[in-house]
Structure 1
């Protein structure tokens, strides 16, 4: 009996240790976690060559964790956020970009039912109309965030998605750079969204959300349509389409800014 209890206790202790090794809040356990994750990725069907190319010499990215802990912009009031992210100069730039890309935006709107004003407002807010997409290698960002205990499950899924994108040859690992949370391209798709909603609208054989504006516009519209966007519907706060914008960004101040920006573009 005593021996059985001892064995049971050791099993529970081992189980607890294994569970704790799944994530961590400092650099100490990162190498062990990474080795286990790489084995899991290969077991899921991703080639060992891709896994090693993406993660082979990876180290813990402390900067990414600091940025994750310090998202102050979403604590601003709507007026403060609007002044910072969508001032009159940015809205004027949006109107020029909308005219510049009018033909392809009209095609996208006809196919997906999402107004060009909404697409361009998201484009402007996410990357300054493609001007700054981020330059952090996303495998560095995503591995740090997947290891971090705060949102480990969420970012582990994103890391797996990013590896699958690379393994299929949809993007080169060297090109997979973005913002600190691993977002990719001109409207900052997370890897799982890239897998599900990215569209090859320019017909070159694969979606490219970094360099192809037709692909960027169509993929953004496809995301919103797949999340329930109602063609011809309003996007003001309280509307059904405003609710769909929550699937784009859960921060109320961000959704309200998208809606305001799009309304200004329509005037």
Structure 2
């Protein structure tokens, strides 16, 4: 499943907090959930979120205990060897699916690679590993999920910022509320961007005026490449373990096993 390595992303993506300028959000975590939402709403309004968006996003909101249960299970590290992990993630069916996607979107992938410098094989490997090319993006309401995690005191600062970014996505009208759904830690779309990454790296590659990482394949592929390019990807250079590009991939996922698996997957698509 796409959720296996979500926990390693939070440290890798912590630097994107700079997208939300000004002092950190500081609604008091724990305690009464409704009081927390009321305090957060005031801070969100002070940072430019409209009252209409706040009312829409938080209407009838309650905490989700299943999200907290999942979050507690994500502590720890990989237990499998790289060989065992890669075998479960890069099987023949998945490789064949990825090859079909490369053929179907060949022209688009060439444009993305030309503009951003990231190999199309790696982009498709990420796309396939994360959600099987959009087939499994998660079904949880993102604002409820993030509000639950922000209310919990374990990583409240991180998730308060992600919750604010989710409201920004709604305010920008990139996604309507009914489409603002995703995974157990608030990831959105076909390559599972946290909301702050959605804001910072999202690219309107289909030119319709919105960044849609759920339904627009051009936006998905370009945004994925843009994240790597922005963080120092070296065009035309290798990305196997020990290279600079392999280190750039830490901004996607800190797990060495995961990154090695992405490289291995990309090799199968050449």
Q: TM-score if structure 2 supplies the norm length?
A: 0.86
Aligned residue pairs total 244
Q: Deviations over 1:220-247 (max 9, x none)?
A: 0111100100000101011111001100
Greater helix percent: which structure?
Answer: 1
Matched, 1:253 2:257: yes
Highest relative contact order (Cα 8 Å, sep 6+), 1 or 2?
2
Which of 51, 63, 66 pairs up with 1:63? 66
**Which stretches in structure 1 are left out of the alignment for 5+ residues?**
1-19
Correspondence for 1:135: 139
Q: TM-score if structure 1 supplies the norm length?
A: 0.87
Rg (Cα) greater in structure = 1
Matched, 1:204 2:208: yes
What is the RMSD of the two structures over their aligned residues, measured on CA atoms?
1.6
Alpha-carbon offset, residue 61 of structure 1: 0.9
Matched, 1:159 2:163: yes
- Please give the alpha-carbon distance, in whole angstroms, between the structure 2 residues aligned to 1:74 and 1:64: 21
Q: Secondary structure at the match of 1:46?
A: coil
Alpha-carbon offset, residue 73 of structure 1: 8.0
- Please give the alpha-carbon distance, in whole angstroms, between the structure 2 residues aligned to 1:101 and 1:264: 17
- Please give the alpha-carbon distance, in whole angstroms, between the structure 1 residues aligned to 2:180 and 2:56: 12
Query: Could you say if the C-alpha distance between residues 74 and 50 of structure 1 is closer, same or farther in structure 2, counting changes exceeding 3 Å?
Result: farther
Is the CA contact (8 Å cut-off) linking 2:137 and 2:192 kept in structure 1?
yes
Q: Deviations over 1:101-151 (max 9, x none)?
A: 111000100010000001000000111111111110100111111111221
Matched, 1:124 2:128: yes
Which structure 2 residues correspond to residues 16-27 of structure 1 after superposition, within 5 A?
22-24=28-30
